[in-house]
Amino acid sequence: MDETKPAKVTPARATISDVARHAGVSIGTVSRVLNKARNVKPALQRRVLDAAAALDYRPDSFAQGMRSKKTHVIGVIVPDLRNPLSSEAAAGVEEELTQQGYSFFLANSRYERGREENILNEFARRRVDGIIAILAHDQDPRTVEQLRRLPMPVVLLEREIGAEFDAVRTDQVQGTYRATRYLAALGHRRIALITVPTDNMSGRYRLQGYTEALADVGVAANPDLIHMAGYTRDYAVNAAYSVLSMRNKPTALIVSGGMLPGVLDAMRQLNLSIPDELSLVVLGDTELAALTRPGITAIRYDWAQTGRVAARLTISRIGGSETPPERVIVPYEFILRESCQELVGAV
């Protein structure tokens, strides 16, 4: 006896015609309601939406994109997904785009210029509606020229290129200035800085805030205490080990959040304690900074908010906004923990 079970029949997907019949309206009316046209009476709108819900109707986004020449997809490029800036900003972008009915491609350039170029070209080939970019090197003329050639709007996140592109960033100058002045107020004058290179905005603005703060207390920046030549944990370990092994080593250190693990590793190797032998401030609060004992004083940047703002600005440009390029600065927050102490005998 054949006991083979009959094949399961998948119910046909509801169409816009089915919704129109169920609601007792024309296809055009359904289309206007689903596209949020303003000239639809509330009662009629409710009837159509109830019908769509009852039938579990889902618009064919691909077909809609073909008709409107829009894909409802945004390309997002970041330099390092392990870095809190990249991961938190991407989360903010995702939150806002999802609420607005957009999807996104997320790509990691790994701070490689060639890889970044290929990603931007691939976004253009896939006809994304817009691009949000945390560029690896925002001063590279090849990158600038490539962005100018793109046919879709580009919003820079935590980067700036002249005044021709929209840009959303945190206040790196004032954040680093505040960290440096805080340490100076505790009597520290030999304050080291370990952060990203100056070929992107974060490095340039952090160096500016650091040198301005030192100048305001009558101290010239010492090149031997400034390490800004890499991005990785290994770089941070080597930079911290080098500067903390100096005969006249610094009494305080300011470090990027993504490099904090490397700095703590170097301190462990040198058997240095916080804050008795070194006061420490991190630029960009992280879970590690909060959970380490003692907790690390931090300049907290709301990178998730920068992502949300960048997403809203991108959607506005896709919608045809022609206002001049915007500059949005998201403020920082000073988080006081236990990693700094007054320098004994400081004048």
Query: Has residue 342 got a pLDDT over 80?
Result: yes
Query: Has residue 178 got a pLDDT over 70?
Result: yes
Burial of 202 (0-12, 13-18, 19+ CB in 10 A): buried
CB atoms within 10 A of CB 18: 17
- pLDDT computed for residue 247 by the predictor: 92
Domains and CATH numbers, the chain: 16-59 (1.10.260.40), 73-170+304-330 (3.40.50.2300), 172-302 (3.40.50.2300)
Query: Has residue 63 got a pLDDT over 80?
Result: no
What would the DSSP string read from start to end of 14-40?
P-HHHHHHHHTS-HHHHHHHHTT-TTS
Map 150-169 to HEC letters: CCCCEEEECCCCCCCCEEEE
Name the residue with higher pLDDT: 45 or 252.
Answer: 252
The DSSP bridge partners found for residue 169 are 329
- pLDDT computed for residue 8 by the predictor: 46
Name the residue with higher pLDDT: 30 or 216.
Answer: 216
The phi and psi torsions of 333 (rounded to 5 degrees) equal -135, 135
pLDDT digit string (tens) for 117-152?
999 999 999 999 999 999 988 888 898 899 989 989
Average pLDDT (208-226) is: 97
Query: Has residue 39 got a pLDDT over 70?
Result: no
CB atoms within 10 A of CB 178: 18
- Enter the pTM of the model: 0.77
Closest CA to 201 of 306, 92, 322: 306
Q: CB under 8 Å to 280, separation ≥6 — which residues?
A: 252, 253, 254, 255, 263, 274, 296, 297, 339, 340
Worst-scoring range by mean pLDDT, 20-24, 116-120, 236-240, 312-316?
Answer: 20-24
Map 278-306 to HEC letters: CEEEEECCCHHHHHCCCCCEEEEECHHHH
Average pLDDT (271-277) is: 95
Percent of the chain with pLDDT over 70: 90
Percent of the chain with pLDDT over 90: 65
- pLDDT computed for residue 62 by the predictor: 47
